[in-house]
């Protein structure tokens, strides 16, 4: 549930300051807990490429239920 998820992220941020936490999710409720967003997409050959996207695009992706990292 979202309340437990939020409590967990707050605890991680509090107890592990300066630590990189990687999340893979499809929920817009994850967006406030992340400063950077990445997208993994295939090209025309089927090879996947990872690229950083803006926070605004990360929020749009979450709203569309796409992958966030």
pLDDT tens by residue, 18-57: 898 888 877 788 888 888 888 888 999 999 999 888 877 7
Pairing, β 48-53 against β 37-42? antiparallel
Segment 7-17, tens digit of pLDDT? 999 999 999 99
- 50: DSSP letter: E
Q: Nearest CA to 40 among 2, 67, 16, 14?
A: 67
- Beta-bridged to residue 25, according to DSSP, are 68
More confident of the two residues 28 and 62: 28
Residue 68 has pLDDT above 60, yes or no: no
pLDDT for the residue numbered 42: 92
Quote the pTM value: 0.64
d(CA 1, CA 16): 22
């Amino acid at each position: 549930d979202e309340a437990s998820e939020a409590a967990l992220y707050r605890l991680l941020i509090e107890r592990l300051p300066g630590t990189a936490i990687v999340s893979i999710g499809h929920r817009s409720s994850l967006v406030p807990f992340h400063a950077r967003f990445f997208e993994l997409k295939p090209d025309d050959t089927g090879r996947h490429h990872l690229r950083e996207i803006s926070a605004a695009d990360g929020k749009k992706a979450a709203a569309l239920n796409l992958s966030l990292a």
